[in-house]
Chain A
Amino acid sequence: MSGLTVRGISKRFRGLQAVKDVSFDVPEHGLIGLIGPNGAGKTTTFNLIAGVYAPDEGEVTFGGQRLNGLRPDQVCAAGIARTFQIVRPFGELSVLDNVLVGCLHAEADVSAARRRAGEIVDRLGLGAKRDQVAASLTLPDRKRLEVARALGTKPKLLLLDEVMAGLRPTEVDQMVAFFREINRDLGVTILLIEHVMRAVMALAQYVVVLNHGEKIAEGTPERVVRDPAVLECYLGEEAV
């Protein structure tokens, strides 16, 4: 099977079971949402896929290749790029150079990579800020930069961790349109963690819900938001 398969992965931090026996599939060219309240284990799941941590149990495969035990750069080389929820820009480098670093993964020639970086920067609406140092960007722009940099590596699968947090509704709609476009036109598979339900409902074909490290529901977005177990775990959080 091509695409990403996650089979029974678990991760424990000292006493805390952050992810417990989670399984799901992300079909090739799919657009899948991963949701759940804060501390549910979403980011940890990303880190397990991306090679930041090795799962204590379970297996992750991508396009038939087993990812367990690979380093993050090897996972990237396998065609998976991720963004960081807590953004990690290269602060003293310009916006363009940040994206250039990503592009250099896919393109050895610096000037060709710089051209492509310029196109990506423009597409994400950072064109006017391309020569600014990344440290000077606002948080929403840093989130865009995370996306731009990840796209630079020409990924087959893009892992997006709350990239729309802090965006205004119109900006969310632009981002949604953008992701739909790269999914449809470039065939990039997307797995997205998102708190902004407006985006999840609009984008995701299928949603996986985590709570306390465990998968508690999955299905189409419309079905999942009516699931009593999902509503239950979101109680106390803002209404869905």
Chain B
Amino acid sequence: MLKLWLAEVPPRGKLYLALLLAALLAAPLFVDGYLLSVLILVFYFAYLGQAWNIMMGFAGQLSLGHALYFGIGAYTSAALYVHLGVSPWFGMIAGGAFAAAIGAFIGALGFRFKIGGVYFAILTIAFAEFTRILVDHLLFVGGSGGFFLPISGRSSNDLWTLRGAPVMFYYVWLAFTVGVLILCRALLSSRLGYFWLAIREDQEAAQALGIDTFRYKIFAVMLSAALTACGGVLYAFYNNNLFPSAIFSINRSIDMLLGAIIGGVGTLMGPIVGAFILTPLGETMTALVEPLKGLGAKLDGIKQVFYGLCVVLIVVFQRRGVWPWLWRRLGLDRGEGR
């Protein structure tokens, strides 16, 4: 199966992919703690961008409230672990299923009443905001005061409870990022994937060709939501603290889609490329403004402003994202970038 997918990747592309993967596998041997945390952030963007891309890039449904699914995963798994000692892997199943169910509900609401495009996106924001306020008052997960996971000694790595050193999380995030890439590759060449693309391109035409558009759009939301929730689980166990205002914030929803938009919506490598571009730039930005903060300057939203600028630049100069352009630059061209 894997062989079949790789068959469509040009030889040089295979080489680059192998080199990148090898470099990422070996990276923890060479980089310090800070760089490791930046790479984890890259995976965070790449993974979540990929999950968001299933809904928008494949099925053409815009969500601006993916922090909701992220938060459902984070809070569900953390609550199960803290209160009942349940492994985060089971928490992932529970959180993923929960997020998928909520996604199906929101999707059904929007699609049934023909709330499309921007209005659907606003609906997704509304649900994320509503949930943030709800969780602010859920005392068994700490309410607005925050929810904390017990930190064990970082010397031992326990994969089963996801308690351990950053290096362990590095490899877990890497595995998820590679895993979701393979999953998306498989989806794109499946019947389901083609139906999604058809819906994205022209819903009415898709329906005329026998595609139950309602059903397949709901599938897309559910899968996207469940995968996003899995990312939330990893985040919760890596960061060990959850605040509703940060977890469910619109900023997080926007962060998730930036990588995909900058890399190329609807492409497989777009979210990954976007994450590798955005994260270092964002970190540099933070490092640059840090000294200014000491001087009393108020620069809280500066990263968001900067990201916004990146999106504007992309929309103006490279509407389809960096990846289709990079694809040609790397000499991989064989038609369109995938």
A residues touching B (Cβ–Cβ < 8 Å)? Answer: 50, 52, 71-73, 76-77, 81-82, 84, 88-93, 97, 100-102, 104-105, 108, 110, 113, 131, 133, 149-150, 152-153
Contacting pair B335 A131 (CB below 8 A): yes
Query: Lowest 6 A-B CB distances belong to which pairs?
Result: A90-B201, A76-B210, A105-B210, A88-B205, A72-B207, A101-B198
B residues touching A (Cβ–Cβ < 8 Å)? Answer: 189-191, 194-195, 197-198, 201-202, 204-213, 266, 335-336
The smallest C-beta distance from A53 to any residue of chain B, in angstroms, reads 12
Q: Which A residues are in CB contact (< 8 Å) with B190?
A: 110
18 new A-B pairs (CB below 8 Å) besides A73-B211, A101-B209, A153-B209?
A52-B204, A73-B208, A73-B212, A76-B208, A76-B209, A76-B210, A82-B208, A84-B205, A88-B204, A88-B205, A90-B198, A101-B195, A101-B206, A101-B211, A102-B209, A105-B209, A108-B191, A133-B336
Given the known inter-chain contacts A91-B201, A93-B201, please indicate yes or no for A73 contacting B207, CB distance below 8 A: yes
Closest to B266 in A: A92
CA distance A53 to B198 in the complex (A): 21
The smallest C-beta distance from A228 to any residue of chain B, in angstroms, reads 37
The smallest C-beta distance from A143 to any residue of chain B, in angstroms, reads 14
Chain B interface mostly helix, strand, loop or mixed? helix
Pairs across A and B, CB under 8 Å, 23 listed: A71-B212, A73-B207, A76-B207, A76-B208, A81-B209, A84-B204, A84-B205, A84-B208, A88-B202, A89-B201, A89-B205, A90-B197, A90-B198, A90-B201, A91-B201, A93-B201, A97-B197, A101-B195, A105-B209, A108-B191, A131-B335, A149-B209, A153-B210
Q: Which A residues are in CB contact (< 8 Å) with B198?
A: 90, 93, 101
CA distance A129 to B210 in the complex (A): 25
Contacting pair B194 A152 (CB below 8 A): no
Taking a contact as CB atoms closer than 8 A, the residue among B189, B210, B213 that contacts A77 in the complex is: B210
Q: Which A residues are in CB contact (< 8 Å) with B209?
A: 73, 76, 81, 101-102, 105, 149-150, 152-153
Closest to B191 in A: A104
Closest to B213 in A: A73
Q: Which A residues are in CB contact (< 8 Å) with B204?
A: 52, 72, 84, 88
Q: Which B residues are in CB contact (< 8 Å) with A101?
A: 194-195, 197-198, 206, 209, 211
Closest to A110 in B: B191
Given the known inter-chain contacts A73-B213, A90-B198, A93-B197, please indicate yes or no for A81 contacting B208, CB distance below 8 A: yes
CA distance A82 to B205 in the complex (A): 9
Q: Which B residues are in CB contact (< 8 Å) with A73?
A: 207-213
Contacting pair B191 A97 (CB below 8 A): no
Closest to B211 in A: A73
CA distance A104 to B209 in the complex (A): 9
Given the known inter-chain contacts A88-B202, A131-B335, please indicate yes or no for A104 contacting B207, CB distance below 8 A: no
Taking a contact as CB atoms closer than 8 A, the residue among A77, A81, A90, A113 that contacts B202 in the complex is: A90
Q: Which B residues are in CB contact (< 8 Å) with A92?
A: 197, 201, 266
CA distance A97 to B201 in the complex (A): 12
CA distance A12 to B233 in the complex (A): 54
Given the known inter-chain contacts A90-B202, A101-B194, please indicate yes or no for A71 contacting B336, CB distance below 8 A: no
CA distance A104 to B198 in the complex (A): 11
Q: Which A residues are in CB contact (< 8 Å) with B213?
A: 73
The smallest C-beta distance from B51 to any residue of chain A, in angstroms, reads 21
Q: Which B residues are in CB contact (< 8 Å) with A104?
A: 191, 194-195
The smallest C-beta distance from A4 to any residue of chain B, in angstroms, reads 16
Q: Which B residues are in CB contact (< 8 Å) with A72?
A: 204, 207-208
CA distance A71 to B202 in the complex (A): 16
Contacting pair B194 A50 (CB below 8 A): no
Q: Which A residues are in CB contact (< 8 Å) with B207?
A: 71-73, 76
CA distance A110 to B190 in the complex (A): 7
The smallest C-beta distance from B290 to any residue of chain A, in angstroms, reads 42
CA distance A90 to B197 in the complex (A): 8
CA distance A89 to B205 in the complex (A): 8
The smallest C-beta distance from B270 to any residue of chain A, in angstroms, reads 14
Q: Which B residues are in CB contact (< 8 Å) with A108?
A: 191
CA distance A93 to B58 in the complex (A): 12
Closest to B4 in A: A111
Q: Which B residues are in CB contact (< 8 Å) with A77?
A: 210
Contacting pair A50 B210 (CB below 8 A): no
CA distance A185 to B264 in the complex (A): 46
Closest to A108 in B: B191
Closest to A159 in B: B208
Closest to A52 in B: B204
Given the known inter-chain contacts A73-B211, A73-B213, A101-B198, please indicate yes or no for A110 contacting B189, CB distance below 8 A: yes
CA distance A131 to B336 in the complex (A): 10
Q: Which B residues are in CB contact (< 8 Å) with A152?
A: 209
Q: Which A residues are in CB contact (< 8 Å) with B191?
A: 104, 108, 110, 113
Closest to B214 in A: A71
CA distance A133 to B212 in the complex (A): 24
Contacting pair B205 A105 (CB below 8 A): no
Q: Which B residues are in CB contact (< 8 Å) with A88?
A: 202, 204-205
The smallest C-beta distance from B198 to any residue of chain A, in angstroms, reads 5
